[in-house]
Structure 1
Amino acid sequence: MISPTSLIPQVAEQMRRYPGLLAALAFVSGVASYILVERKTALAQLIAILLLVSWLWLWLDNWLQERLQQRFGVSISPTLVRFTLQFVHQESLFFALPFFLAVTSWTHGQAVFTLLIIGCALVSVIDPLYYKKLAPQRTLFVVFHAFTLFIVLLIILPVLLQLSTTQSLQVALAAAVLLSLPALGPLLPNGRWWRAPVLLLLLSVLSAGVWLLRSYIPPAALRLTSITLSHQVDAEQRKPGQNITQLDEHSLHKQGLFSFTAVKAPRGLHEAIYHIWLQNGIEVDRIKLAINGGREQGYRAWSHKQNFPANALGKWQVKVVTESGQLIGLTRFTVTPANAELASKVQPQPEAQTDL
C-alpha cells in the first residue's frame, strides 16, 4: 500500500517533469467549471466552495504545514506547495476568464481589464515567466496573487451568497487590498512610528483608485443577452418590436422609444440596474429597473422614454449599468432631422416594465 509520505514526493516529481500537463489540466478544469456554473446552480455553489477552500488553504499554508508535521510527521515538499500555488492561480484565472470574455464590451475601457486577465493567465502557464520573472519579485507576486483572488470573488460571491454586483465588488476589493498588505510592507522602513499610518493611507488610496475605476471592471455575474430599441413592446408576450438604429426627430417625439433588455443573472440574485440615456455623450435620463436571476434567456425588463429634448438630433446611447456604475452593455441609435412622413400612433405605455 502506498503511503501519503511516499506518494507526495512522486506527485511533486511528476509535476516538475511535466509542467505542461498542469497547465492543460488547469485550462480544461477552468473551462469545465465555467460550463457547470452556467448550467447547474448546485454545482456552481460546489465549485465556488472548492475555490474558496483552496484559497483559504494557501492563506494558512505555513500554519497547516506546521500542524501536519507535529501531528502526523508529514512534511509537505516545497516543490509541491509551489506547484499547488501555481495550479490554483491557473485554475482560478481560467475559471474566471470565460465569464469576463462573455460580458466585456470591447469598445469600452473594460477591454483593458479583460486583457489584463488574459495576460495573467498566460503568465501562469508559461513557467519561465511565472518562476523566473514573477515569483522572485515578492511585491509583484503578492499583487498577482491578490488580483487573482479579486476576480474569482467577483464571480463566486453572487453565485454562493447571492450578493449583488455592488456588494460583491466591495467585498472582493476589501479582500484583495488586505491581501496586498504584505506587498506594501517592504516598501517602508521598520521601526518608524509613521509606518502604520502610511500603510493605512496606501491601502485607502489603492481602494479608492480601484473604486473610481470600477466602470472598467465588467460585472462578471451579469450578462446582457439582448438589447432592442423599438417603438413598441408586446407586454403579454414580453417581446419587443423591430429594432431601430436610426429614426427621424418627429417619430422620436411622437412615439418615443422602448429600451428592451434581457439580463442573465445567477439564480436567487436580486439586482437593481439602470437604463441610462445619453445624447452626444451627455446623460439626459436614468431609469431604474429591478431584475431577478435564474431565467435561462435572461430576465426581461424595459423602459419607455417619451420625454426627449426639443433638439434631439445627434448620436444617442442607451447604457445598461449596475448600481455601482459597472457597464453591462449598451446600444446606439441616431436621430436625424424630421421629414414629411408622420409616424403611426401608438397607445401610451408605462415608463418601465419588468417580468413578474
Structure 2
Amino acid sequence: MAAFGFASGLASFFLVERNESLAQMIAVLMLLSWAWLILERWLRLGIIKRFGFKMPPAVMRFATQMVHQESLFFTLPFFLAATTWNHGQLVFTLLLITCALISLIDPIYYNWLAPKRGLFVAFHALTLFAVLLVVSPLLLNLDTGQSLVLALVLALLFSLPSLKGFIPSGRWWRLPLISLMLVVMATGAWQIRSWIPPASLRMTEITLSQQMDRELRAPGDSIRNIEVASLHRDGLFAWTAVRAPRGLNERIHHLWLLNGNEVDRITLDIVGGRDQGYRAWTHKLNFPVNAEGNWQVRVVTDSGQLIGLTRFTVEPASE
C-alpha cells in the first residue's frame, strides 16, 4: 500500500502536467479525501448510532496514513519543480521529503510519530498546508499570495477537528497547547514565506542579456560578468519564462540587488497556460554610479515568495 501511495502520487503529477482539466479532477479527489478525514469522527459516530457498527481503530489509523501518503506524494513533485535549491526553500522541500518518507515507514509512523501528539498534529497540519498550496490555484485560480493565506487559515482551522480522536480523554489541556502550537506554526510560516516554494509557479528559464529580440521574444547571449562602462551604456535585460496553470494571472517582480541590498523593483504581470512558460522581460538602464560588485536578480511574487534567481558580477572598467 505504501508503494501504491508513492506511485499514485507521482502519476498524479504527470497527469496534471499533461492535462489541466484532469488536474482539477485530481485536486477535487484530493480535497474529498481530506474532507472525509476531517468529518471522519462525526461519520463514524453516525454509523454507530444508525447501524450499530463500530469501525476498528486500526482501520481509521490506516486510512489517515493513506491520506498522508497520497497527499505528500501528490504535492512533492510540484515543490521539487518549484524549489530554488541555492536558497532557503531547500529547507522546506527537504522537510516535505522527510515527512513523505516517514509516512511510508510504518515503524516510524506508528511507533515514533503517532504517540507524540504535538508532533503528529504538526505533521498533519503541514501535510494539509502543502495540499492546499497546490490545489488552490488549480481549482480557484488564486494567485500565490491568496493561496498562501488560504492554506495557512484552513490548515489551522481543520487540523484540530480531524485529530480530536488522537487527544486522550482526561487530557483536555493538550487541546489549547496544540492550538497555540498551530498558531505559532502559521505565524512562523508567514514570516519565512520566501522559503516556501510557490507550488503553482515554476521558473523554466531566466537569462540576463544586453540584447533582446522583441519579435521572437527571445534574449541574446547570456551574461555572467559585465564591465561597469558597458552596463551604464546599454543596461541589462532580465528575461524570464514562468510556467503557471491556465487561467492564473499573477503579478511578479524583478528585484535587483547589489551586494545583498535591493536597489530596484520592476513589476510585471504574467498569464498562465503556456507549456514553455509565460515569457516576459524587464530592461534596467538606471544603475548606481558605483555599480561594481555582486548582483542578483530575484523573481518574486506579490507575497514575497521566490520563484527563481540569477547572479552576475559587475567588474571595474578595463584600462
TM-score band w.r.t. shorter chain? over 0.9
Aligned AA for 2:211? Q
Q: 1:293 aligns with which of 272, 284, 302?
A: 272
Show the counterpart of 1:328.
307
- 1:24 and 2:3 are equivalent in the alignment: yes
Q: 1:219 aligns with which of 198, 205, 210?
A: 198
CA distance in 2: counterparts of 1:98 and 1:324, whole angstroms:
22
Is 1:250–1:339's contact at 8 Å kept on the other side of the alignment?
A: no
**Cα distance change, pair 200–144 in 1 and its aligned pair in 2 (3 A):** closer
* Residue 140 (structure 1) shift: 1.4
* Residue 74 (structure 1) shift: 4.5
Is 1:260–1:303's contact at 8 Å kept on the other side of the alignment?
A: yes
Q: Which has the higher contact order (CA 8 A, sep 6+)?
A: 2
Q: 1:244 aligns with which of 201, 223, 227?
A: 223
Show the counterpart of 2:283.
304
Show the counterpart of 1:315.
294
Structure 2 unaligned spans of 5+: none
Alignment of 1:1-356 (within 5 A): 22-181=1-160, 204-339=183-318
Aligned AA for 2:87? H
* Residue 101 (structure 1) shift: 1.0
**Cα distance change, pair 60–167 in 1 and its aligned pair in 2 (3 A):** same
Aligned residue pairs: how many? Answer: 313
TM-score normalised by structure 1 residue count: 0.83
**Cα distance change, pair 204–97 in 1 and its aligned pair in 2 (3 A):** closer
Is 2:33–2:67's contact at 8 Å kept on the other side of the alignment?
A: yes
Is 1:256–1:307's contact at 8 Å kept on the other side of the alignment?
A: yes
Structure 1 unaligned spans of 5+: 1-21, 341-356
Is 2:209–2:223's contact at 8 Å kept on the other side of the alignment?
A: yes
Q: Secondary structure at the match of 1:335?
A: strand
Q: Secondary structure at the match of 1:52?
A: helix
Is 2:118–2:178's contact at 8 Å kept on the other side of the alignment?
A: no
Structure showing greater Rg:
1
TM-score normalised by structure 2 residue count: 0.92
Is 2:160–2:179's contact at 8 Å kept on the other side of the alignment?
A: no
* Residue 203 (structure 1) shift: 5.6
With 295-304 and 205-214 compared, the bigger mean Cα shift is at 205-214
* Residue 153 (structure 1) shift: 0.6
CA distance in 1: counterparts of 2:227 and 2:312, whole angstroms:
11
* Residue 201 (structure 1) shift: 6.7
Q: CA RMSD in A?
A: 2.2
CA distance in 2: counterparts of 1:144 and 1:120, whole angstroms:
7
Is 1:142–1:179's contact at 8 Å kept on the other side of the alignment?
A: no
